[in-house]
Amino acid sequence: MAIDESRTFRPINVALLTVSDTRGPDEDTSGDILAQRITDAGHTLVARSLLRDDIDAIEALLRQWMADPQVDAVISTGGTGLTGRDVMPEALDRVKDKEIPGFGELFRWVSYHTIGTSTVQSRALAVLAEATYLFALPGSNGAVKDGWDKILSEQLDSRNRPCNFVELMPRLREK
């Protein structure tokens, strides 16, 4: 994996969702970390929202962003655990066209090196829905750093070799 400096960087438009019953905008440190990393990478943060763990509200917002041609990707933080209120994977299941299983697998492998076997409690995942990438990360600061720094920063960089999510975007609507 390497960034090919001879290729042109193509910024994408990202919507950011924090899912939490316990945090408000002032306590949304994982969302703040992601927002900063998204813009520092050269992408545009086109929307940001914080919702409680309510599957219907999450689904409605995801569908709104998926229908918006200005949103290329959605990154969420929170709601991926095992408790009864954690519903982000179920919300993604409602809207997905295709799963991206390698994302969750790689996230747990990366996370293992940070938190050991506790990573088995993560249901981090990614899907493709109506030509929009949807990535669900756990809500801890460490998890969003691992997810962005070790996976998404490269896969959302059009210069990443041998391949990346951005170069696929023009063909996502093909049948």
State whether residue 174 is helix, strand or coil. coil
Strands 13-19 and 73-77: parallel
- Contact of 97 with 130, CB cutoff 8 Å: yes
Please write the tens of the pLDDT for every residue from 120-152.
999 999 999 999 999 999 999 999 999 999 999
Domains of the chain: 9-169 (3.40.980.10)
Reported confidence tier of residue 21, pLDDT bands at 50, 70, 90: confident
Please write the tens of the pLDDT for every residue from 71-124.
999 999 999 999 889 999 999 999 999 999 999 999 999 999 999 999 999 999
* Phi-psi region at 32: left, alpha or beta (left = phi > 0; alpha = psi -120 to 50): alpha
